[in-house]
Amino acid sequence: MESDGTVTLQDYSSVMSEEEMAELRALARPLAGARVQHINSTRVGGGVAEILARLVPLLKELGLNARWDVIDGDADFFRVTKMFHNALHGDPADFVERDFEIVRENARRNLHIITNDDDFVAIHDPQPIGLMDARDDRARGKWVWRCHIDISEGDPRVLRFLRPHIERFDAAIFHLADYAKDLAIPQFIMPPAIDPLSEKNRELAPEEVRLVLERFGIDPSRPIVLQVSRFDRLKDPVGVVQAFKIARAWNDCQLVLAGGSASDDPEGEQVFAETREAANGVPDVHLLALPPDAHREINALQRGATVVVQKSLKEGFGLVVAEAMWKGKPVIGGNVGGIRRQIFQGDSGFLVHSPEGCAFRIRQLLCNPGLARRLGENARQYVKDNFLLPTYLRMWVLVLNALRRGRDPIIDLGT
């Protein structure tokens, strides 16, 4: 790692063989010197910014002339784009025409970001999508829209607004096939990734794990069932408590529900109270309201857990599942959203539909350490093969190659 915190490919040598690095360099060779501009709406905070902070320096290391620009926006703009975000997720929103105009005005203020001399322009999510108005179709650059959210059942008014912009791109990228829309442009599938070097995922010494558990009053010597998620009804923390109550009648264990601080989210506060009420009188339940930057603590909790649960009722991709799987943990997930793409029933974890199903699987795993170990090993391997940052980087290199080389099903990149 460089002195400014920038990572290098060599930092990933524990998850990437020398052959894989050599191959990645070979895949990137045809793109040497290509100018690549990534654009999103924030430099810090959120998964997109975290991933771009890693991705752009690594693309540079591979010989591409990559850079990352961020659009400016005022509070009104981000209010409307937050409404867009929620409406694209299917939540009802009350738009007025002025809201769409605010987005158009913001795009006009940011048009200077586009220079039309890049080989590739990657726009992340809907916020900067209006920059498409600055595209000069005579310029050589290929444009790609990287959508990090599920728009398959999005609000039709927002989609009607976005579609003319989206369909001017050369391609779009979605996490999963079921997140995409029927669009008139090619759509690539690229799942999100976790960074094994981040505070949330880096290796921790057993001693540090033990100290964190003890700091929260958790007994490291007894089995631990953990769910990490904000206190949100869609994450079903009350259902997890119900499952724990059933499982605990058979197996000695502790439950840890670790989520964001309740004070910054009125609904979260209410759900936290409901969860506390559900856990009232149940021994060995730990409800932890952690600050947003408690990445190392979350890491330690996941590493200290015996079984990890993500009993969501609705979920996007659910990268927290990949985080636990990467730590070799058997995960019990709700049979929804992207969780279904991470867990293979009985092979890399279990999918459940009810608190009872969750309780059954907790008991099964606590009673069968061998099974838990096998699922955890498979889970780690699956994440290593599919959801780590080096894979994500390789996917980007393939996308850029594909944009340049067209739709041939087989492309020989030679040596």
Partner 1 sequence: MTPFRFHSEQSLVRTTGMMAQSLRALQQGLARASLPCIFFHVHHALFRRSFTRADFMNDFARWAWVTLHEEALAERLSVVDPLQYKHIREASDHLRAIVSEALGRAEFIQHVERNQAFYFQEAQTFICDTGLVAQDLHDFAQMVRTVRPDVIFHHFIEARLRLARDENDFSLWIDEALHRPDLAARLRQLSPYRHDLRSLRKTIADLCAQEA
Q: Which is nearer to partner 1, 219 or 377 (CB)?
A: 377
Beta strands in 285-405 (DSSP E): 285-290, 307-310, 331-334, 350-352
CB of residue 204 to partner 1, shortest distance in Å: 26
Q: Which is nearer to partner 1, 53 or 411 (CB)?
A: 411
Q: Which is nearer to partner 1, 210 or 404 (CB)?
A: 404
CB of residue 270 to partner 1, shortest distance in Å: 28
Pairing between strand 65-70 and 187-189?
A: unpaired
Q: Which is nearer to partner 1, 80 or 372 (CB)?
A: 372
Residues that bind partner 1 (CB under 8 A): 19-20, 22-23, 26-27, 152-153, 174, 177-178, 180, 182-183, 186-189, 336-337, 344-348, 378, 381-382, 385, 394-395, 398-399, 401-402, 407-415
Separation CA 343–CA 322 (nearest Å): 9
CB of residue 120 to partner 1, shortest distance in Å: 15
- Residue 109 DSSP class: H
CB of residue 87 to partner 1, shortest distance in Å: 18
CB of residue 182 to partner 1, shortest distance in Å: 5
Q: Which is nearer to partner 1, 1 or 177 (CB)?
A: 177
Q: Which is nearer to partner 1, 42 or 381 (CB)?
A: 381
Separation CA 115–CA 134 (nearest Å): 8
Q: Say whether 344 sits in a helix, a strand or coil.
A: coil
Look-up: residue for tokens 């109550």?
Answer: 245
CB of residue 114 to partner 1, shortest distance in Å: 26
Separation CA 211–CA 221 (nearest Å): 12
DSSP letter for each residue of 38-85: EEES-SSSSHHHHHHHHHHHHHHHTT-EEEEEE----HHHHHHHHHHH
Beta strands in 305-409 (DSSP E): 307-310, 331-334, 350-352
